[in-house]
Structure 1
Amino acid sequence: MNHQLILKKNGKRIDLSPLISNLTWTSNIDTLGMELSFNFAINDTRYFEQYNDLLETGDQVVLLNGSKVLNYFIVVKEMSNGRYAKSYICFDRAWYLNKNETVIQFKKATATDAIQKLLDRFNIKHNIASMNTLITKIYKDITLIDIINDILYQVYFETKNVYRLEMDKDIVTIRKQSDLLINPMVRLSSNTNEFPTSETIAGLATEKSIENMKNKVIVVSDTENSTNIFAEKSDQINIDRYGLMTEVVTVNDKNAAQARNIANTVLYQLSKTGNIVTCEMLGHDDIRSGRLIDLNEPISGVVGRYLIRGVTHTINNGIHTSVLEMERG
C-alpha cells in the first residue's frame, strides 16, 4: 500500500507525501462528496523554507495509491497550527455541485436525461445509470446538487430504488445502491495471501434507535392554495407499539396511483428501527459511504448486508485503517 498526495501546479507534479502527516479522508451519505485533511510541516531553516508557501487555497491535489488515482481534491481551507505546522482541508470535485446555482425546466424528461442535461450545461463529465422516472418541474435559484437530490428522491418515491452519487475523479457517477456491493481484500505483506478486510473488525459497537422512525405517511399536493391529500398509509402494529409518528411528503402533479406508491415506499423506509454499527478495520480504498458490505460477526449479531453510512480513512506510519458507521442494508 503506497498512498501519495501529489500537488499539480504550474505544470509541475510535486510529491507532498514526505511533508505531510495524519492524512485522512472521509465520506458520509448525508454530506456532499469526500473530504481530505492533513497536517503540513513548515520550517524556517534555509533549505526548508521554500516549501512553506507551496500550498495555497484553490490548489489541486491528487490522492494516489501506487499508480492508481483515487480522487482529485481542491484545497479549500488552510489553518496555522503554530510556528511549525499548517493543516489543510480539501474537498473532491463534487464540491462544485454545491457552488453553482441555475434555473432549469424539465418537461417529462427521464431522470437520467434531466441530470445529464443539467451537468452538460456546466460541462461536467458524467456517468448516470438508467432511470426512467419522468421529471416535470421548474428549478429556480437552486444548487446543482439540490436539483440532483430532488430528482433522485422522485425516483426513489416511485420505484423504491436508491441511487447514490459519487465523484469518480472528475466524473459525476450515479449508480443504483444495490450495485455497489464491495468485498475489499487486503494482505499484511507482499508474501501473504489476501483476505477480506471485514475479518479485521475491532472496537465493534451497536446501537438501536427509533429516533428517526415514522409510522404514518401523508402525500399532499405542493400547490400553495391547495391542501389536497393524495394518499395516506400507516402501520397500525407499529403505531400501537411506539405511538403515532407522521411524515408528510409533498409531491408535484402526481396521480393517485403514484401517490399511493410513494406513500408505501416512504413508510417502508421509515417504519424500521434504526440499527447502527460502528467499528474499525484495516483500510481499503473501495470502502466509501453509500456502498454495501457483507459482515459476519455472529457473537455480536452483526451478520448480513450493511450500508456504509460514513467512513474515515487514516494513514499513520504507513498503516491504513478505516472507521465505519453502518446500518442494516
Structure 2
Amino acid sequence: MAYGYVDAHRLIRYRGGQARDITAFAGDLQAVDELGTLSVELSFGVIVAPWDQYVEKDIVQPGDKLRVVNHDLTVFSGQVESVTLDGGVTAYDRGWYLNKSQIILQVTGMPGDEAIRQACAKAGVGVASICSLPTKITQVWLGDTPADILGEILETVAAETGKQYQYFVRDDGLVVQELPTAALTAYHKPADNLPAFNITWALGQVSGEDSIAELRNAVVIAAEGGGKAYIGAQAKNAASVEQYGFLQYIQTVTSNPGTAQLKQMVQNLLSQLDRVGRTRTISEIWGCDEVRSGVVLNFNSPAFGVTGKHRVTRVTHHYGGAGHTMELEIEALEEPRAAGTTDTVSVYGLPAGIGTGGSSGGVTTGGTSGGAAAFVSTAMSQVGYREGAGNNNKYGAWFGMNNVAWCVIFVCWCAAQSGAPIPTKYSYVGDMSSYFQSRGLYRTVASGYIPKAGDLMIQGDRHIGIVRSATRAAVYTVEGNYSDSVATVTRYYSEISGFCTPWG
C-alpha cells in the first residue's frame, strides 16, 4: 500500500511480445475511473515531429498493450484505442470489449449472476468473480452490448435486494461485487524522509451542489404480458410529494418475483430514490492508487461542506509533474430521506404467466393495443431489418415517401401498427417534437426526467428513437434508420435533447 513507499509510476508498452518503458516519452499521463462505467480510460501525449530525424517515430500505435505500474503494483492494464496526429493517446482496460461487442442473449428464470456469465462468454471476456445475484431474470436481448445487459440486470437485482453493486474488469476478467460501505484509509507518502499521511486531511478546492434532479417520491413496479401492462406494486411518500411535487419512477420487471418481493422492491426503490442528491468535487487531492470508483472515504472538513462517509463516484489520477494527485467526485453515503418517511405501499401482485406468455389477473393499465408495451413490442419486432439501395425501405413505401431518411417514418409506422397515440403524418423530427411540445408532452434532458418505455428520444432536429427502458445513466432505444437498419441502441443523456411523452 502507498503507506510504505513514495509513488514511482512507470508506463510500459508491449509490442510484438517486447516490453519497453516509455515513461520518458509520455506527458500529462492520467487515468479516469467512473462508477457505472466498465472501462478505465488512460490518456497521455507523446511528441510527434515527422520532420525531425532525432524524434523517435511510432512510440505508440493503436493496438499496443500498456501497463502503468507503481513499484510491483499494476494500476492499469489495457490497450491503445487511438492515437491522434498531434500525439494524443487514448487507451482502455479490457472492459472496453464489453462496451463494443453486440450479442444476442435469451434467459428464462435464470439467476442474475449466471445471466451475466453467459453475456460475458458470448463477448469472449472471462469472469474473475461475481457475487451471488439470486434474482431470476427472464428477458431477450437482441443486439445489446454485454455492458448494457449487465447494467439492466444489476438494476433489477438492486431493486429486489436493496443492495448496490459495482463492476469492473481486471486482467483475469469481470468482477461484480456489492459496493463497499466501510471507509478506506488512503495514504500518500510524499518523500522517502517524510511519513505517509491520510489524504483526506489535505483538500484542494471543493465545489458541488445539492439537487433534487434525480429525486423520485413515487415508485411503480410494472410488467407487460400478453399485450397488456400490469401494476404489481406502488409506493409514495406524501410528505415528499407535498414538498417537492410529484416525481414518479417506474421499474419494469420481466418475470413475476412474487408478492413479498414486489413489496420489498418498491420499498427499496423509494428509499433509495427519495433523497436530495449531495455531490462534491475536490479539484486536487494527493494521490493514492487504492482510491478507485466505488470506495468510501471518511472526511472531516466541515468548512468545505464535506463531513462523514462519502463514496467516490469518479476519480482522475494524474501521474508525474508535481507528483501523484487526484480529482475526486464524491457523494454522501448516508443521506437522510428528503422529507421524512410517510410512505404508503400498495401491492397488487402480477399474473402468474408474466415472463412466460400468460396474461391473466393483475391490475391492468393498458389494453392489447394502443399501449406503450404494444408500441415498443412492434418496434422490437423489426430489429434487424435493413434498407435497400438509396434509402429504399418498406416504411417509406408505406408512408408514400420512400428513398428518404426514415427514422421518423419508422416511428409513425410503429404507431400505426400498434394504435399508439402518436401522429403518423410526420417525416421530420422537428415536426414530431413540436407536436408534443405544443401539448405539454415534452421533457428536456436538463429537467432530469428519466424516460419511460414508449417515450420518444429526440436528438435536436436530426434523429428520433423509441425508448425501451432507461436508467439514470443511459437510455436504451430501438431506432429506425440507425446505420441503415432497425437496431437497439444505447444512448447517453449527453447525446439527447429531450423526450416526447405520448403517455402523459
What TM-score results when the alignment is normalised by the length of structure 1? 0.92
- Alignment correspondent of 1:62: 67
Tell me whether 113-122 or 221-230 shows the greater mean CA deviation: 113-122
- Alignment correspondent of 1:164: 166
Work out whether residues 38 and 169 of structure 2, in 8 Å CA contact, stay in contact via their aligned partners in 1: no
Query: Structure 2: which 5+ residue stretches go unaligned?
Result: 1-6, 334-504
2:261 is aligned, of 258, 261, 269, to: 258
Work out whether residues 232 and 263 of structure 1, in 8 Å CA contact, stay in contact via their aligned partners in 2: yes
1:240 is aligned, of 233, 242, 247, to: 242
Work out whether residues 119 and 126 of structure 1, in 8 Å CA contact, stay in contact via their aligned partners in 2: no
Distance 1:306 1:129, change over 3 A: same
One-letter code aligned to 1:13: A
Tell me, yes or no, if structure 1 residue 79 matches structure 2 residue 84: yes
Work out whether residues 218 and 249 of structure 1, in 8 Å CA contact, stay in contact via their aligned partners in 2: yes
Tell me whether 63-72 or 220-229 shows the greater mean CA deviation: 220-229
Work out whether residues 83 and 89 of structure 2, in 8 Å CA contact, stay in contact via their aligned partners in 1: yes
Residue deviations 1:113-156 (CA, integer Å, cap 9, x gap): 22223324425242112222222333332111111112211210
Tell me, yes or no, if structure 1 residue 4 matches structure 2 residue 10: yes
- Alignment correspondent of 2:463: none
One-letter code aligned to 2:203: I
Query: Structure 1: which 5+ residue stretches go unaligned?
Result: none
More relative contact order, 1 or 2 (CA 8 Å, 6+ apart): 1
CA RMSD of aligned residues (A): 1.8
The ranges of structure 1 where at least 4 consecutive aligned residues each deviate by more than 6 angstroms after the TM superposition are: none
Work out whether residues 32 and 41 of structure 2, in 8 Å CA contact, stay in contact via their aligned partners in 1: yes
1:319 is aligned, of 323, 339, 343, to: 323
**Percentage of matched positions with identical amino acids:** 25
Matches within 5 A, 1:1-329: 1-43=7-49, 44-48=51-55, 51-81=56-86, 86-121=87-122, 122-178=124-180, 181-223=183-225, 225-254=227-256, 255-279=258-282, 280-317=284-321, 319-329=323-333
Tell me whether 272-281 or 258-267 shows the greater mean CA deviation: 258-267
SS in structure 2 of the partner of residue 319 of structure 1? coil
Work out whether residues 71 and 169 of structure 1, in 8 Å CA contact, stay in contact via their aligned partners in 2: no
SS in structure 2 of the partner of residue 150 of structure 1? helix
Distance 2:182 2:13 in 1: 30
C-alpha deviation, 1:299, in angstroms: 2.8
One-letter code aligned to 1:46: Q
C-alpha deviation, 1:318, in angstroms: 5.0
One-letter code aligned to 2:303: I
Distance 1:152 1:176, change over 3 A: same
Residue deviations 1:144-174 (CA, integer Å, cap 9, x gap): 1111112211210111111100122342111
One-letter code aligned to 2:277: G
Work out whether residues 93 and 170 of structure 1, in 8 Å CA contact, stay in contact via their aligned partners in 2: no
C-alpha deviation, 1:209, in angstroms: 0.7
Distance 1:180 1:76 in 2: 35
Residue deviations 1:181-217 (CA, integer Å, cap 9, x gap): 4221111211222221111211122311111111111
